[in-house]
Amino acid sequence: MSELHKFLFEGLPVRGMLVRLTDSWREVLARRQSGEPFDPPVRQLLGEMAAAGVLMQANIKFNGAVVLQIFGDGPVKLAVSETTPDLGFRTTAKVVGDVPATDTGTLPLSEMVNLHGQGRCAVTLDPQDKLPGQQPYQGVVPLNGDNGQALTKLSDVLQQYMLKSEQLDTTIVLAADDNIAAGLLIQRLPLEGEGNLEGEGKTDQSEADEDFNRIATLAASLKREELLTLDAETILHRLFWEEKVLRFEPQEGSMGPRFQCTCSRERVGNMLRGLGKEEVDSVIEEQGRVDVGCDFCGVRYQFDSVDVSELFAQGPDHPPSSSNLQ
């Protein structure tokens, strides 16, 4: 069962999270099998993005969708994951052209997305209950380091984003295959405020630096194979057996991360109304029906001439839904 583990280090301004997407991740891949399955490197990237999205949503506790996007000029034009406040997630990609062959199933971002150094990562916080005129917040960072060198791993890109957006040192380890998508996040907390459960956070900056660097180094030593094959209990014990780790009750089942798509026939209908009756009628005339598939979950929505007539008889045209299906 997919699960999220949160923990603190007693007496230290450091917190951590570990996510394991198992059944929910396999459901995502199974739904894709009926169409055009992604190549292994793309599946790995999407799994890491799904795990990262859950970690970021749980970390900031945002009342809205956290949307993570990677885009550039490689064969993977766009990869996206979306995570809701209740940890429901979905993910997909737009692939144009051939993804380079690899024996390992792994490719760096520079070969999939960032061929000429122009790739970007965008993190969008889309509020659930928007105020009039309120726009989603979006932060964008390049897929290159401060020295201009292309970053090869999604975790490196997200660490750069977290440092620039939240000004908090963060260590992220991600891994995914066709069975599991997993991630570990370790983050420094501000010295002022709730440094730990007793509120006795360290006040000496040098000591705090030493503590975080030690824990971050331990976290970064976690190997891909370990993250994919070991359970949460074993991982945390192997990494932090000398630390005093305060763990919260795991979030799983209906309270934990799970695949969840927000598409619906109603939202597709709103999108069609946004296109206008003339354009939709032209598709009906040419193909006999309108067939719209959701890239996230694979569900197909069909509208025949009667459906379209009812759709536009319901009232004036509406603008397209703010949540795209691709």
Q: 137-142 and 88-95: which strand pairing?
A: unpaired
Query: How many Å apart are CA 153 and CA 245, to the nearest integer?
Result: 28
Question: What pLDDT does residue 207 have?
Answer: 81
Average pLDDT taken over every residue of the chain: 86
**What's the pTM?**
0.84
Which tokens belong to 151?
Answer: 């970053």
Question: What pLDDT does residue 326 have?
Answer: 37
Q: What percent of the chain has pLDDT over 90?
A: 55
Find tokens 């005129």 and name the residue.
Answer: 133
pLDDT digits (tens, 9 = 90+) for 38-60: 899 999 999 999 999 999 999 98
DSSP per position, 223-271: -HHHHHHS-HHHHHHHHHTTS-EEEPPPEEGGGS-EE-----HHHHHHH
> Bigger pLDDT: 325 or 68?
68
Please tell me the least confidently modeled range out of 74-88, 99-113, 183-197, 242-256. Answer: 183-197
- Identify any residues that bridge with 272 across adjacent strands, giving them in sequence order: none
Please tell me the least confidently modeled range out of 105-119, 158-172, 270-284. Answer: 270-284
> Bigger pLDDT: 181 or 32?
181
Question: What pLDDT does residue 322 have?
Answer: 31
Query: How many Å apart are CA 43 and CA 181, to the nearest integer?
Result: 10
pLDDT at 305 over 50: yes
The confidence band for 285, taking pLDDT boundaries of 50, 70 and 90, is: confident
Secondary structure (3-state) at 92: strand
Q: Is 193 left (phi over 0), alpha (psi -120 to 50) or beta?
A: left
Please tell me the least confidently modeled range out of 19-33, 219-233, 281-295. Answer: 281-295
Find tokens 């109304």 and name the residue.
Answer: 273
pLDDT at 104 over 90: no
Question: What pLDDT does residue 34 have?
Answer: 66
Average pLDDT over residues 69-88: 94
Of 95-104, 191-200, 306-315, which one has max mean pLDDT? 95-104
| Eight-state DSSP code of residue 164 | H
pLDDT digits (tens, 9 = 90+) for 124-140: 999 888 878 778 888 99
Question: What pLDDT does residue 144 have?
Answer: 93
Domains of the chain: 3-190+205-259 (3.55.30.10), 265-313 (3.90.1280.10)
pLDDT digits (tens, 9 = 90+) for 198-229: 445 455 778 888 899 999 999 999 999 999 99
End-to-end, the C-alpha distance of the chain in Å comes to 27
The confidence band for 324, taking pLDDT boundaries of 50, 70 and 90, is: very low
CB neighbours of 214 closer than 8 A, spacing ≥ 6? Answer: none
